[in-house]
């Protein structure tokens, strides 16, 4: 880790030896032209992580650099970046928010990031260790036959480092968002939900309440942006937070998460669909209706009953998330998150065999240590790719995103006794893999 960090910082300061000039183009484009002060937090972190990840930065270093740069940015007087006040026709006077010119303020953020990198390169300190419960994450996403890709996802094993949390509780965050009517709502939620979650005082003691509050806050924030920019999109979403040995899943709509323990599928949640009896009753009690038009739809429009956005159908399409929490006992294999493009074509009970099939695919034909090394390096791509390909072959035409978060080493799963769910005492190098985690 130390050598990798030194190497990256050297390359980065070679590319950015000094602050960006006022008239020079930004090396990465901001998500928005205007941002509120509350939105600045998420958009700056997204911008910084995108810049660093594209240049091969170690994940923990990226999180620490972005956190340090954002902390410095928020201490500055940002009033010089305020947009001229405008009275929008679709915005009530009392709801007007102070907006910042995004490109200008993000230039300052990137210059803070460059300054931090230069300082760390010149006075190198041994980097903070990676999360000790490192979890290998396999992700794959395809547009499939749809005209546009409207899915977004985020894997953040460095949750604490990104937000400067030092309470001794290890955290990792994973989420998938399935947009409809455009990608704006999915992009917005992927940028801001984890930020809103990090600000909840009850995060450690009551993750479910923290998640519900964060979803609600993100929906309210997107409502303001949708009014300003006349956006009409929505997104379902599912997010998982792992805190030490506690796993909390929160969801809106029909994106899903499932757990596999000892090779068996475990239900974590019940997706929100208009035809679900309690959802149907809720909507009818509000004066809405559920109609069948190729599929069940809310008031003849959206095929989802809960989502971020879709403000023309609120409160029928609810922004209130549901949550469930379980304690991990150590015998869990992995958590899988996916959008409905996957689950509409694949039964959850088929997932364990599909993952095992992917793990058992041949590695390096030379065998030996090279095969072991290659298997570990490509596992992150192969498992999710196999699941996505299966869903497509099974008839899914929708965008498909699949994320597999391994709670045990994939190589341990290969050596697992199917009758007991425990690792067999074989001659393979499982212990070497576990030691790397």
Asked if residue 359 lies in contact with residue 383, where contact means CB atoms within 8 angstroms, the answer is yes
pLDDT at 128: 62
What pTM does this model have?
A: 0.90
Give the chain's residues under pLDDT 50: 87-91, 93-94, 364-370, 373, 424-437
How much is the pLDDT for 374? 52
In whole angstroms, give the CA distance from residue 64 to residue 166.
12
What does the domain layout of the chain look like in residue ranges?
2-122, 137-272+321-436
Alpha carbon distance 181, 402 (integer Å):
21
Tell me, what's the pLDDT at 354? 95
Q: Is the peptide bond before 90 cis (omega within 30 degrees of 0)?
A: no
Distances from the Cα of 383 to the Cαs of 121, 242, 375, 410, in angstroms?
Answer: 37, 21, 11, 10
CB 54 within 8 A of CB 194: no
| 8 A C-beta contact, residue 190 and residue 34 | no
> What confidence score (pLDDT) does residue 435 get?
29
The pLDDT value given to residue 366: 44
Q: What is the pLDDT of residue 431?
A: 26
Strands 34-36 and 99-101, bridge-based pairing: antiparallel
Cβ atoms of residues 141 and 151 within 8 Å: yes
CATH superfamily, domain at 137-272+321-436: PPM-type phosphatase domain (3.60.40.10)
DSSP string, 308-363: EE-GGGTTTSB---EEEEEE--S-EEEEEEE-HHHHTTS-GGGHHHHHHHHHTS--
- pLDDT given for residue 352 in this prediction: 95
Alpha carbons 186 and 246: distance in angstroms, whole number: 26
């Amino acid at each position: 880790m130390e050598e990798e960090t030194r190497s990256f910082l050297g390359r980065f300061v070679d590319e950015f030896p000094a602050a960006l000039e006022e008239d020079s183009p930004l090396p990465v484009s901001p998500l928005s032209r205007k941002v509120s002060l509350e939105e600045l937090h998420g958009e700056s972190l997204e911008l910084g992580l995108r810049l660093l990840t594209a240049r091969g930065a170690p994940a923990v270093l990226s999180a620490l650099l972005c956190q340090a740069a954002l902390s410095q940015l928020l201490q500055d007087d940002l009033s010089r970046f305020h947009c001229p006040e405008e009275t929008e026709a679709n915005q009530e006077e009392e709801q007007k928010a102070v907006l910042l010119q995004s490109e200008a303020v993000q230039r300052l953020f990137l210059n803070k990031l460059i300054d931090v990198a230069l300082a760390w390169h010149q006075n190198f300190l041994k980097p903070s260790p990676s999360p000790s419960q490192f979890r290998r994450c396999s992700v794959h996403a395809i547009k499939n036959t749809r005209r546009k890709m409207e899915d977004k996802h985020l894997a953040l094993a460095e949750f604490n480092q990104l937000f400067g949390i030092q309470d001794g509780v290890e955290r990792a965050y994973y989420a998938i968002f399935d947009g409809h009517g455009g990608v704006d709502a999915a992009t917005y939620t992927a940028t801001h939900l984890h930020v809103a979650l990090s600000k909840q005082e009850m995060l450690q003691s009551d993750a479910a309440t923290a998640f519900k509050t964060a979803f609600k806050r993100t929906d309210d924030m997107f409502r303001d942006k949708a009014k300003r920019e006349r956006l009409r999109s929505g997104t379902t979403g599912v997010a998982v937070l792992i805190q030490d040995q506690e796993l909390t899943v929160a969801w809106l709509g029909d994106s899903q998460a499932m757990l596999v323990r000892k090779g068996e599928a475990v239900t974590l949640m019940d997706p929100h669909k208009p035809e679900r009896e309690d959802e149907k009753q809720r909507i009818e009690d509000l004066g809405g209706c559920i109609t069948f038009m190729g599929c069940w739809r809310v008031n003849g429009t959206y095929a989802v009953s809960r989502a971020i956005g879709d403000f023309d159908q609120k409160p029928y399409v609810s922004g209130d998330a549901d949550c469930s929490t379980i304690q991990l006992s150590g015998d869990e294999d992995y958590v899988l998150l996916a959008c409905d493009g996957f689950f509409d074509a694949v039964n959850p009970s088929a997932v364990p065999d599909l993952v095992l099939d992917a793990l058992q695919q041949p590695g390096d034909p030379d065998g030996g240590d090279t095969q072991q090394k290659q298997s570990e390096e490509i596992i992150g791509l192969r498992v999710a790719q196999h699941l996505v390909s299966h869903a497509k072959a099974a008839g899914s035409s929708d965008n498909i995103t699949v994320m597999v978060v391994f709670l045990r080493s994939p190589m341990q799963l290969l050596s697992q006794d199917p009758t007991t769910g425990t690792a067999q005492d074989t001659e393979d190098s499982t212990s070497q893999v576990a030691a790397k985690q």
